[in-house]
Amino acid sequence: MVGMTTALSYSQLPALMTRMTGDEKHGPSATSTLDVLWVLYRDILRVDAAYPDDPDRDRFLLSKGHGPMAYYAVLAAHGFLTAEDLDGFGTFDSPLGFHPDGTLVPGVEISSGSLGHGLGLAVGTALGLRLTGRSTPRVVVLVGDAELEEGSNAEAIQFAGRVGLDRLTTVVIDNDSAGRGWPGGIAARFAVEGWATVDVDGRDHDALRRAFTIDHPERPLVVVAHVEPKTS
């Protein structure tokens, strides 16, 4: 069983985020993920900064790799990074790039930023864990609503539903940034392929916790988190 380190409080996250400066922060994109990331790391994911490579850990994949400030802040709050690490954000000799690098940052499972790859990687990860007999680890991937326009996601959604990857959860941050929108709603796209679906207020921590813990036997889960981006 993976343990969990004691985290800072949610109220300390803004101070951590302000330590990161530069022109590539993508502030609204980052802050739209903040509450989801906090709830996942505080209450859902079985991960521990002391044992980042534990084979029985849950896997979190950030496919929405634009504006990782919130991600870095939450990792720092949970001991994967120090607050001082954040000060070098985006500088030449810092591991904290404008997109997260899975080879450089403790706790980061994949390198991301090129949108459309994370869901497929998550499906492969969940399938690989199943094939190796590891039924405990959960795989959670966070994507953006506009990112779903990438065609690779359609194949991943279809395959995961058809083979019943019930240890897979996709979180869609819906901040109305998709260029053509989603007639019928994003959840319907997953439901028709056999996924369990939940629409939720992406700022409501209690609602998010309930969404992430619903029972969905033999089906993957999608949580569509509707968020109005914070601009300040």
What letter represents residue 107's amino acid? G
Against a cut of 0.85, is the pTM above it? yes
Cα 22 to Cα 4, 18, 26, 98, 134, distances in angstroms: 32, 11, 10, 9, 41
> pLDDT tens across 46-92, in order?
999 999 999 999 999 999 877 789 999 999 999 999 999 999 998 88
How many angstroms from the chain centroid is the CA of residue 8?
19
pLDDT at residue 129 is higher than 70: yes
b (16+ CB within 10 A) / e for 108-118: bbbbbbebbbb
Is residue 231 very low, low, confident or very high in pLDDT (cuts 50, 70, 90)?
very low
**Cα distance from N-terminal residue to C-terminal residue, the chain:** 39
Q: What is the amino acid identity at position 41? A: Y
* SS3 readout for 17-51: HHCCCCCCCCHHHHHCCHHHHHHHHHHHCCCCCCC
With CA atoms as reference, report the closest residue to 201 among 39, 69, 44: 39
Of 43-47, 96-100, 107-111, 162-166, the least confident:
96-100
d(CA 89, CA 7): 21
- What mean pLDDT comes out for the span 207-231? 91
- Tell me, what's the pLDDT at 216? 96
Calpha distance 14→91 (Å, rounded): 21
Ordered structural domains, the chain, with CATH: 27-64+101-226 (3.40.50.970)
pLDDT tens by residue, 131-171? 999 889 999 999 999 889 889 999 999 999 999 999 999 99
Scanning the chain, the segments in alpha helix (DSSP H) are 13-18, 27-31, 34-39, 69-77, 83-86, 118-131, 152-162, 186-191, 205-212
Count the helices and strands in the chain (H runs, E runs).
9, 5
Distance CA 119, CA 218 (A): 18
3-state secondary structure of 222: strand
- In sequence order, the 6+-apart residues with CB closer than 8 A to the CB of 84 are none
- List of residues 6+ apart from 185 with CB closer than 8 A: 199, 224
Q: Please tell me the predicted confidence (pLDDT) of residue 178.
A: 73
